[in-house]
């Protein structure tokens, strides 16, 4: 792949890269070539993933056409997976062995769910990431519900588990079939990092729908047709979701870059690698040295304009801007059946209005960037 002039490489088309992807023409006008590397032509918006599982949204409504946006803007899209970076030769290494040279590179490769607890022969197991895998889970649940009352196990006690549980129930309730038995194995405490009032609202909604939340225990192993808990109890299951927390890619540690305790790329206030100034990153795959950030999409969205500015500034010799994570943020959980739980500062809300607010915000966010990918 021949190139001339300076080269910007974006690894991943996630939330923190959306503004940069939308403004590729500005790099091109300045003589900078832009290459985007990603494993799929599309990027799925995680905030609407549970809604896609539950049937509220179609796949087309929750994804960006990354390749189309890149090529429309004058960039090059490489459908591949990055497995390493060589800062010495300034190249991104692909799984095929190809090396993509860069002058500046930015990573937004998201995070993944550990599968270490999978035992031999485990089947019908679906990590909540990547989001597109939820469509396969949806089809399998509907197939099971046509012939039996399926038993669904969910590993993990965070908001992803709550949203998956509620939307699985919505899916079967709306599409017909026998309502599933759903277990959430929550670890020490369900929704532990959230205020008690929020936790109580979420738990109250789920328990009213007969979703069983098990606290004070963890899943030791997902076996064939069951989950084995650390207290020795074995729960029969037909399908299991893994939602026990996300981890950044090992790509950075494997490449010898400085990382945080979670293996995320260690970045300074400018979202720039602390030891390689031509490497940047955003979203779940970084560890912000100034202060650890919760792995929620709001920070990736807030990083968008700063990351765009700093990538362009690094290429053109201009001053970088620091990223300010900001203060309190709005969070809303989609619990299915048109209900949600919302919190922002002192304001708390649950029920249909909370979901309607989330739905409106999410649709507007998607529309903003989906407009750019259209012919």
Q: Phi then psi for 145, rounded to 5 degrees?
A: -70, -15
pLDDT band at 162 (very low <50, low <70, confident <90, very high): very high
pLDDT band at 1 (very low <50, low <70, confident <90, very high): very low
Determine the pLDDT at residue 78. Answer: 97
Determine the pLDDT at residue 328. Answer: 83
Q: CA 311, CA 194: separation in Å to the nearest integer?
A: 35
Q: Which of 243, 226, 282 is nearest to 109 (CA)?
A: 282
Residues 153-177 have a mean pLDDT of 95
Specify the residue for token string 């860069």. 102
Q: Which of 247, 268, 283 is nearest to 47 (CA)?
A: 283
Residues 232-251 have a mean pLDDT of 90
pLDDT band at 53 (very low <50, low <70, confident <90, very high): very high
Contact assessment for residue 154 and residue 41, using Cβ atoms and an 8 Å cutoff: no
pLDDT band at 249 (very low <50, low <70, confident <90, very high): confident
Specify the pTM.
Answer: 0.92
Residues 6+ apart with CB under 8 A from 367: none
| Residue 300 CA from chain centroid, whole number | 10
Determine the pLDDT at residue 163. Answer: 97
Contact assessment for residue 321 and residue 306, using Cβ atoms and an 8 Å cutoff: yes
pLDDT band at 375 (very low <50, low <70, confident <90, very high): low
Q: CA 331, CA 336: separation in Å to the nearest integer?
A: 16
Specify the residue for token string 């979203």. 283
CB burial of 232-259 (b: ≥16 within 10 Å; e: otherwise) equals: eeebebbbbbbbbbbbbbebbeebebbb
Residue 177 has pLDDT above 60, yes or no: yes
Q: CA 363, CA 252: separation in Å to the nearest integer?
A: 33
Q: Which of 299, 158, 316 is nearest to 241 (CA)?
A: 158
The residue ranking higher by pLDDT, 296 or 281, is: 281
Q: Phi then psi for 228, rounded to 5 degrees?
A: -105, 125
3-state secondary structure of 131: coil
Determine the pLDDT at residue 246. Answer: 77
pLDDT above 90 covers what percent of the chain?
81
Contact assessment for residue 175 and residue 140, using Cβ atoms and an 8 Å cutoff: no
Specify the residue for token string 């500034």. 313
Q: Are strands 104-107 and 279-281 parallel, antiparallel or unpaired?
A: parallel
3-state secondary structure of 357: helix
Determine the pLDDT at residue 278. Answer: 98
Determine the pLDDT at residue 29. Answer: 95
Q: Which of 320, 312, 318, 306 is nearest to 24 (CA)?
A: 312
Residues 225-247 have a mean pLDDT of 92
Q: CB neighbours (10 Å) of residue 290?
A: 12
Q: Which domains does the chain have, with CATH numbers?
A: 7-39+80-112+246-327 (3.50.50.60), 115-244 (3.50.50.60)
pLDDT above 70 covers what percent of the chain?
98
Tell me how many degrees the CA angle 218-220-224 measures, rounded to the nearest 5: 120
Residues 6+ apart with CB under 8 A from 305: 19
Query: How far, in Å, are 197, 203, 302, 360, 366 from residue 356 at the CA level?
Result: 20, 20, 23, 6, 15
Residue 374 has pLDDT above 80, yes or no: no
Give the tens place of pLDDT for each residue, 89-121.
Answer: 999 999 999 999 999 999 999 888 888 899 988
Q: Is 168 exposed, middle or buried (0-12, 13-18, 19+ CB in 10 A)?
A: buried
Q: CA 116, CA 223: separation in Å to the nearest integer?
A: 12
Determine the pLDDT at residue 2. Answer: 41
Q: CA 324, CA 304: separation in Å to the nearest integer?
A: 12
């Amino acid at each position: 792949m021949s190139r001339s002039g300076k080269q910007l490489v974006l690894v991943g088309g996630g939330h923190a890269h959306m503004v940069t992807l939308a403004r590729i023409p500005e790099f091109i006008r300045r003589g900078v070539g832009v290459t985007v590397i990603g494993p799929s032509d599309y990027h799925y918006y995680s905030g609407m993933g549970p809604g896609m599982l539950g049937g509220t949204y179609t796949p087309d409504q929750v994804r960006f056409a990354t390749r189309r946006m890149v090529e429309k803007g004058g960039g090059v899209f490489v459908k591949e997976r990055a497995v390493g970076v060589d800062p010495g030769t300034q190249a991104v290494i692909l799984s095929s062995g190809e090396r993509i040279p860069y002058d500046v590179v930015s990573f937004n490769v998201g995070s993944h769910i550990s599968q270490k607890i999978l035992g031999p022969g485990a089947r019908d197991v679906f990590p909540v990431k990547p989001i597109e895998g939820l469509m396969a889970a949806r089809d399998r649940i509907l197939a099971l519900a046509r012939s039996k009352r399926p038993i669904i196990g969910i590993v993990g006690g965070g908001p992803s588990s709550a949203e998956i549980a509620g939307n699985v129930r919505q899916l079967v309730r709306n599409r017909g079939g026998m309502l599933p038995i759903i277990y959430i194995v929550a670890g020490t405490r369900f929704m532990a990092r959230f205020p008690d009032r929020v936790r109580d609202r979420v738990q109250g909604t789920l328990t009213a729908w007969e979703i069983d939340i098990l606290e004070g225990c963890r899943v030791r192993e997902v076996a064939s047709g069951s989950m084995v808990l650390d207290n020795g109890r074995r729960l029969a299951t037909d399908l299991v979701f893994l939602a026990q927390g996300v981890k950044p890619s090992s790509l950075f540690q494997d490449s010898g870059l400085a990382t945080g305790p979670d293996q995320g790329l260690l970045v300074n206030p400018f979202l720039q690698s602390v030891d390689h100034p031509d490497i940047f990153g955003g979203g779940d795959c970084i560890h912000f040295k100034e202060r650890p950030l919760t792995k929620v999409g709001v920070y990736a969205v807030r990083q968008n304009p700063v990351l765009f500015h700093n990538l362009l500034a690094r290429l053109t010799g201009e001053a970088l801007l620091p990223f300010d994570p900001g203060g309190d943020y709005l969070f809303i959980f989609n619990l299915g059946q048109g209900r949600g739980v919302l919190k922002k500062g002192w304001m708390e809300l649950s029920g249909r209005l909370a979901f309607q607010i989330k739905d409106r915000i999410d649709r507007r966010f998607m529309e903003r960037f989906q407009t750019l990918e259209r012919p």
